[in-house]
Structure 1
Amino acid sequence: MSQTGERVAQQRRSGRRHQNNDGLIPVLARRVREVEAKAQGGKKLGPTNRTKFQVIALLMREERARAKSDPELTEAQRAEQLKRLDGIAQILAKTAARDTSLIQLLETDASPSAAAQKMRRDWLLESGTALSPDDLVIVVEEPKVLDNKPVLSAELAEKQVVPQSVKARQLSNPFLAPDFTRYAEQAQPAPRRRLDSWELLGPLFKSFEQGAGGQIASMELPPAPKIDRYAPPGMELMHHQAQFIESARLGHRTFLLADEPGLGKTAQSLLAASVAGAYPLLAVVPNVVKMNWAREVERWTPQRRATVIHGDGAGLDAFADIVVVNYEVLDRHLSWIAQMGFKGMVVDEAHFIKNLHSQRSQHVLALADTIRKTAPGGEPLLIALTGTPLINDIDDFRAIWQFLGWIDGTKPTRELMDRLEETGLTPADHEFYPEAREIVIDLGIVRRRKIDVAADLPSRRIVDMPVELDDELGRSIKAAERELAARLVARYERALAAGVGEGVEGGTDARREHLIRVVAHAELEESKGAKTGENVFTMVRRIGQAKAGLAADYAAQLARSTGKVVFFAKHIDVMDQAEALFAARELGAVSIRGDQSAIERQKAIDAFQNDPEVSVVVCSLTAAGVGINLQVSSNVVLAELSWTSAEQTQAIDRVHRIGQEEPVTAWRIIAAQTIDSKIAELIDAKQGLALRALDGIDVEPGSEASVQLDALVGLLRDALN
């Protein structure tokens, strides 16, 4: 709101006096009772009542400030008004306790939407408050773009950085000219249309609430090609993935890809960019998955290069085909990104931008608008990825639709408007809603569920999620790993000088490998008995502590989008960190630990299996890895790695067992560029050996000691190389 508290007080004093039955407080009392009644029985409030809730909180704060500072009130009148406002506040608090998603609307910095501003104005007028002309006009700030570049505030402009690689690219191609030809038609004044006088966004959102008819919100996709020409050698696309990519190949350019997690949305978006020629491609993603994006580029489009922006962009390759940036550092790179000539943009976990008034959302939307207007060669590819596009209410669609260019602030853009006009219907017609819903879906909403494509999925799969440990703890871990490698090299050189292994047959290379294993074995035996100092065990534990927050954050995202999640960790402190994060996110969680009694453990299992309010079970790998059933979930997060493939398999099998009706996905959180990555590779190799052994090939499955030893062997070998 633009007016200050003093101005509000002056306006209120110029209106009618606030007696018991007139003024603003009785209006707020009536409205808060309406909202309370709607929230009875644990029901989630709809968009209108959520807006009412926010406006009540906003006006209550304003009225409290006025009552405290109004010199015309007697102390008795002041006390009476504050008492009545406290009663309204108590009802708000009780309502928020029933529907915890309302709590964010109580925050003082929660920006009111245009609908909330209108409601505030109407209630003030109803109460008899005199308003200034400025308050009668509703203005909602939208992301600003000037000369096809985001407008930066002075504070934001000061934060901008230009990595050296970007400067080199700009020098190599200083005349990157935008293509405005496709906007020539849009530049002409639009003809007066039948629906111009209608407010359409509300009815469009409403159409998804009442116009569904039991049908899933997914556009009709073309048939998948009989021959898979998209996947690289050795890889294979599922049927639903091939259909999406074929749609992009045939020219569709805007998508809300809302497949459930585990159905390969990242791969689909990368291959869609490939068939659409949408390079360079910008991917805006959460921090926890940005390393995985680079890995997926290598897997699915190996002929393309990806670069990941860390911090100020040191090490960035501006000549890469795909630039990956996380939301947290986007603000300092806006200036050069807007000038790069991107032909495509993907926003991963797009529900992160649902709040139009947040800085994060405004940065993303301003960049998307710039890319739409300046993409060389034609329409850019814009993809919003989210398994959960709706968090609180149907209005959460607004930011995603604006990112995709389907709406512009408070109205549909030309393509959507033209299609609505063709129906010959208005929101006054009942038939408008199912028709409007189908029109929006055909703009590019794609939604598939695991249960619908189960025949195309493996019964169980493991997905690695590399994360970058770029904080102080992560840097100390990498420094400790370098020290351990240096200690192993020094041991190796002493053994070499002492003549160890001189009698080994096979020449220099054979002796070298013999020495490496001897040194690694000696280090491992010393580490097992060590009480202090850095070794492979303490390092792995510290990596687990550093990953805990990122792993718990990813588990929380899964719980919000897919339902119940099983979270496994090895160490108590990692479990404690995870439980604290889930509590902060208001997610119900129980834990299964080694110090529990059998009764306590079964109580936790039953709560996870049967209580809809319990979203996550935090499990010890050793205490919960065997003997329990958790198949109410189909998603497992492995926050820390086990030393054996068997322990990992046992953990996943708590979910993947008789009674499971959905394909199971285990998400392994792996610290990139650390020994964690090597351990993951070794576990996979040992698992492959074990599987082959079960198939009748006479090989020895990997043991815990062999993974520990091979991890040290790999560390020493890399250091020597």
Structure 2
Amino acid sequence: MTPFPTQLSGAAFLAANRYALLADEPRVGKTGTAIIAADYIMAADVLVITTASGRGVWKRGFADWSVFERTVQIADGKAALTANVVIVGWPSLTNAKIMAQLLARRWNLVISDEDHFAKNFDAKRTQALYGQLLDGGAHLQNLTALYACADRVWPLTGTPLPHSPADMYPRLRALAPNRLLADERRGWPDVTKYNDFLHRYCVVKMKKLSQFNRIPVVIGGRNLPELRDRLEGFILLRTQADVGIRPPVYDTLPLIVSPAAIRRAEADLDRSAILAAAKTGDTKSLEMHLGPLRRITGEIKAEAVVDAVKDEFACGLDRIVLAYWHKDVGNILLDGLAEFGVTGIDGSTPADARQKNVEAFSSEGGPRVFLAQIEAAGESIDLSASAVLYFVETAFSPKSMKQMSLRVTNHTQKRQAVVKVCTLQGSIDEALQASLMRLWAAIREVLK
């Protein structure tokens, strides 16, 4: 493969640092960049932690990008891990047998792909990679942490702050603790402990769960120029625009359905509470108010989307990606559009079939419809064979929405990518999606 100039400069950045975060946006080329950098430092033993969809991408990536003939193995918990490059899924970090195998080796390099999966020290996978906090973060227990078994660690993620500035803490605490220390000359306090970091860089509101239980909820950021200065030299972030990829155009697609269908979808919903929760990004409250009715709304939209897509194909559209959440919604789309050829990825798709389905969608004369379950297909795959993506259903997480929407962009995408969020016209769903899109747009603006 011929690298882009930004991949070469990114590889040089990684190779020059023992610990460094590559935060290029999706489709900018992080996989190739990291593999080229691994060649620069002549890493013999490499551990790659990635998603289910990413395992096949990385296995092929070493063949495409590396000048060395390393052996590559995907960890399955059965065979001994003897290859030069071992690729493991994030869920496997909670598998005691696989972790024992990984901790038994000394790695020249650990690449944690989609490192936002390790954004919370309460999660077992974060502890497996970065250790466990003691005394609120004053100390870090790393005897069973993978980063302590590696000469170098390079986290990769296109969404380094999926929810708030607090998401940066685990990788800084483990890999760059000196950046958390006080600097009297610059007026920086010590933020080694998590709560100190949280309250220094986040606006936090305490949410009452019960009479005896309140939890902190991040509702904004603060002192962000200071945090950016602490990160200088540790993080490299290039946008799609920086490498000549045009960002998608975002819009809504109002779907007209019968008043009876809207009544069925809305039932006894509390409109004011739902819109207030959407405005503040309170995803738990949204889940509580909407619950199973999200699926009903999704099914009604799916039936209308089938007709809309048939019209688009009749007007000359070649391929389309349909993103959804619920399995029943995917089944409606599959049945309704079967005549056009349908493939896709959902949570049950085997790892070895995921890349094959993507390749089929990209092939001449292949399926024209790709059904992408948002959490399962939102990362590490290239769907730029299509320039159109519809969110039949949405996720409450801006990170998931962004990751999914950028699947249809790439260096080779010669058309303007279009992303549309489907809404039920005249319903609470239309107002809810508009509110979520405003939040999504604000986050995209901050990360420019």
Choose between structure 1 and 2 for higher RCO, CA contacts under 8 A separated by at least 6 residues.
Answer: 2
Specify which structure has the higher proportion of helix: 1
Specify which structure has the higher proportion of strand: 2
Q: TM-score, normalised by structure 1?
A: 0.31
Rg larger in structure: 1
Q: TM-score, normalised by structure 2?
A: 0.48
